[in-house]
Amino acid sequence: MCIDSCVGFTGPFEVLDVCPKCSQPRYHPGTTKGRRQFPTIPIGPIVQALYGSEETAAMMHYLENMTEKILKCADENGGQINEYTDTACGQDSLNAWRTGKIKKGDIAIQISLDGAQLYRDKESDCWMFIYIFHNLAPDSRYTKRFVIPGSFFGGPGKPKHYDSVMHPALYHIAALQNEGLRYWDASTKSYITRSTPFVSLATADGPAMTNMTGMVGHSGKFGCRLYCGLPGRRRDGDGHYFPLLQKPDNYSVAGCDHPDVTFKDLAQYRENCDTRYQTNLRQLIAAENPSQYNNLRLSTGLCKQTLFSGLRHAIGIPNIFVMDLMHLTALNDPDLLLGLWRGTIKCYPPDTKDSWDWKVLVGKVWEAHGKTVAMATPYLPSSFGRVPRNPAEKINSGYKAWEYLLYLFGLGPALFRSILPEKYWLNFCKLARVFTFFHILDLKQFGLGLSLAMLSGQWRRQLETLETKYAKTRTHMLTLRSEEFVGWTRRI
């Protein structure tokens, strides 16, 4: 790969001698030895090793056994499932089993891409993707033993062409899909003569997901990562779009002045996403010049074709790309809510922070609140994960996901009751209840319906009404996408 991590010399870049991004030479002078390499771990031998052990081979039969039970339950209850416990309950997964896209002996794979800083006080960024096998039960598949690295590529610069570094791994998967994978199942003492790796999910955080999906990302006009058809709204003169459902007063920004969006509208925006994606992609690919491409990029929410579209056996595009619940609940939402309550979020004139009646976590109130959070430590079970530190002192010092979850949605409903004005506190409690439901392992049908109604019907519209008050200078205060939850729940 490029010495500066720009691209991997794979696919169409395989014949190049210099980096197409920075013009750095590929080889050491006078040799054909690459200046830098990145490893790719083929998934085929990994699968064969898993099934070669009698213990792990038996564990790998979880998915087909679970799916059989779910389909039986659905057939006996008019298509309804009593509870949602795993990805096996997903509508797309069940449809794949019913139609024969995935069958017994096949391997359900999740590919997850992310970056990491290896040392806290040292420039040590690197990027990697991993394989997660959904043939295994949830209590096994996410353990270190079974999370398999697919590839990793060091920094300090991040890759500028992710397709080129993911190409070898996806090429290998595509080859196995075309030719089949043979393995010995030690638990049944039999040969599986043709198994197909089936890519069920492709996951990443927001920035990395745009590189995987070929979509414009959260700041685009059509920024939903599930590719729903809801257009965003922006301030006049600003290119960043936000998922504002209600039209602000005296608002006339071209292309964004559509009427208020209701809960019923959200469901309609999620219909026929795959058909709309394919239609829009064909239009984008057919662009004849940069100007036409830029216009289509804005109107379709697409930048390019995703490399995952080359896989024959997968959930399908765009459904293969799913939500990122961890960053949503443990980073994005806390950042927005605390930014509002502390008054640190940007304010655009003629709006003034003095008019923000929700700005209450300031000065001595914020300091006292932080001490109260720290005082709760002895009362939190150790099984809950990392207890939240004093946010007034540590919020900018690597506050962890577990800390945000316990602080905001565990302790928050009680601690904020005497601080937030009642209307904001009641609204926040609805969000806390929704996120509590979505973190339950065994989610009942009732809980799913209640969460969806509260998030999309009550909480979101109340939040817009309370905090934006239909002001066009406050469109940036709504970064939470309830339409993604509608799409997520409709697909399970």
Pick from 86-95, 136-145, 292-301: least confident: 86-95
The burial class, CB within 10 Å (0-12 / 13-18 / 19+), for 140 is middle
CB 35 within 8 A of CB 21: no
Give the single-character DSSP code of 456: I
Q: Cα dihedral sign for 457, 463, 469, 473?
A: negative
More confident call, 187 vs 448: 187
Give tens-digit pLDDT for 249-270.
888 888 888 898 877 787 788 8
Whether pLDDT at 460 is above 50: yes
Mean pLDDT value across residues 463-481:
64
Give tens-digit pLDDT for 105-116.
999 999 999 888
Residue 487: what pLDDT?
46
Pick from 29-33, 73-77, 304-308: least confident: 73-77
Q: CA 175 to CA 181: how far, in whole Å?
A: 9
Give tens-digit pLDDT for 401-446.
899 999 999 999 999 999 999 999 998 998 888 888 777 777 776 5
Q: CA 388 to CA 391: how far, in whole Å?
A: 8
Give the single-character DSSP code of 28: -
- Does an H or E element contain 270, and which? none
User: Which of 431, 459, 251, 464 shows the shortest CA–CA distance to 332?
Assistant: 431
Give tens-digit pLDDT for 368-413.
999 999 999 999 888 877 899 999 999 988 899 899 999 999 999 9
> Residue 364 contacts by C-beta under 8 Å, 6 or more apart in sequence?
none
The burial class, CB within 10 Å (0-12 / 13-18 / 19+), for 254 is exposed
pLDDT bracket for residue 449 (50, 70, 90): low
Query: What is the bridge-based pairing of β-strands 190-195 and 197-204?
Result: unpaired
Phi then psi for residue 429, to 5 deg, are -60, -35
User: Which of 353, 337, 323, 341 shows the shortest CA–CA distance to 478?
Assistant: 337
Q: Does a cis peptide bond (omega within 30 degrees of 0) precede residue 156?
A: yes
Residue 131: what pLDDT?
96
Q: CA 436 to CA 341: how far, in whole Å?
A: 21
Residue 288: what pLDDT?
94
CB 36 within 8 A of CB 1: yes
Mean pLDDT value across residues 201-206:
89
Give the pair of three-digit tokens for residue 405: 């979850």
Pick from 54-58, 188-192, 317-321, 322-326: least confident: 322-326
Mean pLDDT value across residues 63-72:
92
CB 451 within 8 A of CB 459: no
More confident call, 101 vs 122: 101
First to last CA, the chain: 40
Whether pLDDT at 152 is above 80: yes
More confident call, 469 vs 292: 292
Residue 390: what pLDDT?
96
Residue 467: what pLDDT?
62
Residue 283: what pLDDT?
96
Residue 480: what pLDDT?
57
Give the single-character DSSP code of 455: I
Q: pTM of the prediction?
A: 0.88
User: Which of 275, 450, 213, 431 shows the shortest CA–CA distance to 340?
Assistant: 431
> Residue 220 contacts by C-beta under 8 Å, 6 or more apart in sequence?
232, 241, 298, 301
Q: CA 102 to CA 71: how far, in whole Å?
A: 14
Residue 492: what pLDDT?
41
Residue 490: what pLDDT?
40
Whether pLDDT at 489 is above 60: no
Give the pair of three-digit tokens for residue 304: 């390019």
Q: Does a cis peptide bond (omega within 30 degrees of 0) precede residue 259?
A: no
Residue 355: what pLDDT?
87
Length of the chain: 492
> Residue 235 contacts by C-beta under 8 Å, 6 or more apart in sequence?
253, 348, 472, 473, 475, 476
Q: Cα dihedral sign for 386, 389, 394, 396?
A: positive
Residue 478: what pLDDT?
66
CA-only gyration radius of the chain, Å: 24
Whether pLDDT at 84 is above 90: no
Q: Identify each DSSP E strand in 186-327 by its residue range.
A: 190-195, 197-204
128 forms beta bridges with 114, 152
How far is CA 67 from its chain centroid? 24
